[in-house]
Chains A and B, each alone.
Chain A
Amino acid sequence: MVAGIGTDNRDRQAGWVCAYTPLEILLAAGLEPVRLFGSPGGTEDADAALNPNICPYVRACLQQGLDGRAPAAMVFAGCCDGIRRLYDAWSYCCQADFTFLMDVPRASLGGSAAMYNNSVGRLASALEGYTGREITARGLRKAIGARREVDGILTGFSEAMVRGYDPPGEESLRIYTDAQELPPADFISRYSSRGWGDGVAGGRSNGKPVVITGNLLASGALLEMIGDCGGSVAALDLCSAGRFPALTPDTGEAEPYPADRNGLLSYLARAYMSRTPCPRMLESTERHAHVLKLVIDSGARGVIYVPLMFCDSFLYDLPRLKDKVDAAGIPGLVLVSDYRDDNEGQMRTRVEAFMEML
């Protein structure tokens, strides 16, 4: 689960935990952005430092930091109370050379966008201070180019899944995880020549297609289970999967951003604020429409909701989203996740029953 992080490259990496972190700035500062997925075992130390009622992903990440298995620099996009408290605990308890907390507003327009823009600018300045390396327009353009290529590959993969490409469960999660853990060049060399079929070549198995929506999964166990129970995952609407790409893919047309440093930073701020919204954002209509579109486009017969336990952002949104999906005649199954997958038996029973019902 911490595959991308090693003691030999800890100093040149920058850890991040929320998809509203503009990774291109980290790259332009000469750092390798690596998403934390948390320590796989128990979180007793983190529970004591935070509180057991905090999101289990946050606690797993803190445990990783307390175990000394995290990058020396950490950037926290302050998107929720859990991550803000993670920043606090990290600064207080972990051995970090650099920590930064970004303001992430809840709306993408008006003053909120300006606030995020300011926050992006402050992050760039702070990283320059930490690395001693100037973030130049050239560096930003190179980073944006690389990330657009990564996001393009991921978008192609997600679209292929919706059309019917049906990789084994673990494999479908792996590509997204690699995009968040590997340097862009490594990711591109690994995946750029891979084909996902045209919706026929991979072909959906005979499984019943379902859309998964939630935060992030600790492993591919649920996806494997869905396959075992006669299902087929048509879309992974997770912040660590289908919602992860932030930049529009390169279509060979003129670059959609200006040439100067401030213009590039503003471009990134706009791109991240206007990405497919997370439930924390107030653009719920857009988010609900996005989930419904995934259902319709893929012909999904059901939706599996996988909120993380104690995730206020998802749990407040869930009743409305589910009502809308139910109203479209699509049944749903709610599986609240403790980010450990240690209740496999119970989960399998519920998934089996849901698949049979479909």
Chain B
Amino acid sequence: MALTDELVERFKASISPELMRSRWPWLVALALSRSPMDRPSLRADRVSSRFMLESTRDAYLGRRPVVWSSLLFPSELIHGTGNIAFFPEIAAAKAASVGLSRRFLDAAEAAGFSQDLCSFHRVLIGAATEDLLPHPDLLVSSSQPCDSSPLSFEFLADYYGVEHLTADVPNENSSVGELEILAGELRRVALALDSLDGATGGNTGGLEERMRDAVELSNRARRFALEVERERKRVPSPLDGWNAMGHLAVLAMMPGTRAGASFYAALAGELKDDAYAGLPGKEKHRLLWMHLKPYFPSELETFLHEKGAVIVCEEYNRCFWGEMDPDRPFDSLAAKAAGHFSAGTAERRAAEMVRLAEEYEVDGAVHFSHRGCRQSCGSAQQVREELARVGVRTLILDGECLDPREHRDGQIRTRLEAFLETLDNPQTVGSAP
């Protein structure tokens, strides 16, 4: 083992609750993020990294009330009420990216959680039982995209002895009555959030006024995010989707903040800038990537680059909601929550994927079927058939996002390679291997 690898391993082994709650690792991390040593491929990533580091530091140090949120719960409610938003599913992915997921998976399994459950939630439960996550004052979840968030949050609320509020998002967003009910539930959650300590982030107005500000900031971020999406439709694509999938963290955590708007403004500007070099190499295949990816280190990213396969669009990393009315924040946020394709049937999801495939002019699609994800895997076949109707071949790739023990890099590469070969031959009709 190289010296640096050994040092990294020693550091990971030394991670303890006390370390996470002391100031110095955060001082070091923030200093590194500002230094010339840290050169992300996109300048915009500096904005998001800094926001997330500061926010996570504040959560660990308990500087304001900490609210744990599931991935698709509207973050504007948490920011608008002046609390710190902590998204444990995103933290779980981050833990996997630095090689810590196995430790937490073992801890969750020791606590009685089945290996059949989603590894995102097993990792976060394992990290919680090792006391390595910031303590929540409240947990909020929504019923989309899947069952795991409300169910695992219910365990965690009990574990930490705090309240868990969940918003049931209706399956059919066409029903005005049900959206009104959801808006009422979001208002109820906002009142609970607002009562945590009255932190207002400098805004001394009432709840409605602060929510109005958060929604306006979210709208600003959304407008720039749509510019990013327009740029990404170019041929060749200016952005690599494998890395851009990391921006899902921004999409979930940062709407409703100034940093969120700044991130998308910076990214849109960067992609439009003539000086931006874009992606190296030739774009041979344009891919739509569905669900998520393995977050632990793997060779798949390099493999796709070598094959000239560029992920030009990702199912989750998109602005899925419409412009919101700041004067009606709760109605708007209810519409946002219900606007996600996962709050509905497979027909809705498939129609959305067909639209994306056409808009981004993809010539192939990959459905990464994360082992513990019922909501996504269960509709993969239907999505594949609908994409086939518009001439887009789909590879359903069984895999794991966070559990490296279940990952078979060679097997996945073989299947991807065979799939990309079928894309080379447009005469081949039918489904992917």
Contact = CB atoms under 8 A, between A and B. Distances in A.
A282 B378 contact: no
A322 B175 CA distance: 40
Interface residues of A, number: 46
A87 interface: yes
Contact of B147 (A112, A280, A309, A322): A280
Contacts of A105: 143, 168
B171 A101 contact: yes
B114 interface: yes
A209 interface: no
A302 B225 CA distance: 56
A107 B377 contact: no
B346 to A, nearest CB: 4
Given A88-B382, A110-B188, A312-B374, 7 more contacts: A92-B346, A105-B143, A106-B143, A107-B168, A111-B168, A114-B181, A316-B148
B154 A282 contact: yes
Interface string B345-381: 1110000000000000000000001011011011111
A49 interface: yes
A51 B369 contact: yes
Interface stretch (A14-22, A75-83, A213-221): A75-83
B107 to A, nearest CB: 12
A282 B188 CA distance: 17
**Top 5 A-B residue pairs of the complex, sorted by shortest distance between their CB atoms:** A85-B378, A319-B112, A88-B346, A316-B151, A105-B168
Contacts, number: 136
A317 B375 contact: no
Contacts of A110: 185, 188
Contact of B181 (A50, A115, A310, A322): A115
B164 A78 contact: no
Interface string B394-416: 00000000000000000000000
Contacts of A91: 345, 347
Interface string A317-347: 1111011000000000000100000000000
Residue of A50, A78, A82 with most partner-chain B CB within 10 A: A50
B246 interface: no
Contacts of A136: none
B166 A107 contact: yes
Contacts of B112: 318-319, 322-323
B255 to A, nearest CB: 23
14 contacts: A51-B374, A54-B378, A55-B374, A81-B147, A84-B171, A85-B378, A88-B346, A89-B382, A101-B345, A111-B168, A282-B150, A310-B116, A312-B148, A322-B112
B205 interface: no
Contact of A312 (B151, B182, B345, B346): B151
Interface in A267-288: 280, 282, 284
Contacts of B300: none
Contact of B116 (A84, A87, A315): A315
B422 interface: no
B209 interface: no
A95 interface: no
Interface string B123-159: 0000000000000000000010011101110110010
A112 B378 contact: no
B178 interface: yes
Contacts of B154: 282, 284, 316-317
A91 B346 CA distance: 10
A319 B111 contact: yes
State the main secondary structure of chain A at its contact with B: helix
B202 to A, nearest CB: 31
A103 interface: yes
A122 B178 CA distance: 11
Contacts of A50: 377-378, 381
A282 B156 CA distance: 12
A9 interface: no
B184 interface: yes
Nearest to A88: B346
A84 B375 contact: yes
Contacts of B158: 284, 320
A48 interface: yes
Contacts of A320: 155, 158
A106 B146 contact: no
B269 interface: no
A306 to B, nearest CB: 13
Nearest to B168: A105
Given A282-B154, A282-B164, A82 B378 contact: yes
Contact of B345 (A88, A118, A315): A88
Residue of A55, A105, A336 with most partner-chain B CB within 10 A: A105
A48 B379 CA distance: 11
A53 B168 CA distance: 25
A111 B146 CA distance: 20
B61 interface: no
B163 to A, nearest CB: 11
A81 B146 contact: yes
A87 to B, nearest CB: 7
Contacts of B150: 106, 282
Contacts of B375: 81, 84-85
B113 interface: yes
A115 B178 contact: yes
Contact of B184 (A48, A106, A111, A312): A111
A313 B114 CA distance: 12
